[in-house]
Amino acid sequence: MKIIIKSEVKPTEDEEKVRKAILNIINSETIKLIEENGVKTLIAEGDNIEVLSKLRETLRRRRILTTAKAILKRSIMENKITFYLNKQAAYMGQVSFCEKDGESPLGPITIEITCNNIDEINEAINWLTSE
């Protein structure tokens, strides 16, 4: 399993605030800043679903497990789940799913979970969305 969490840092944004938004939903101390063609992106990676334990707890606390499960199931493409979270909500310690474009004015936080097979994908979804 490979997990990638990334978010573009827009020119009008404070990099540390974007970093805080990401850290509010994941367990990782290592977030890299990559700059390509003038575009800055913060990226965190993990190889264990536990990196998303803060996200899991927030889904429980907000009582949106059923909605989250439906969104994650819809987000499966072959051996990968890709979903988007509102960056401003994450900064406030909340979870709000959004679309890739348009819903989050400063762009979303993108989370990609790549698995070896469909069973591993289903296990990841169940872990994130179970009581």
Domain spans, the chain = 2-129
DSSP letter, residue 131 = -
Render 53-71 in DSSP notation, one character per residue. Answer: HHHHHHHHHHT-HHHHHHH
- The yes or no reply on domain 2-129 and CATH 1.25.40.10 is no
Measured CA to CA, the distance from residue 102 to residue 56 in angstroms comes to 25
| 38, two tokens | 């003038």
Per-residue pLDDT of the chain in tens (131 residues, 90 and over written 9): 999 999 999 999 999 999 999 999 999 878 999 999 999 999 999 999 999 999 999 999 999 999 999 999 999 999 999 999 999 999 999 999 999 877 667 899 999 999 999 999 999 999 999 98
| 129, two tokens | 């969305």
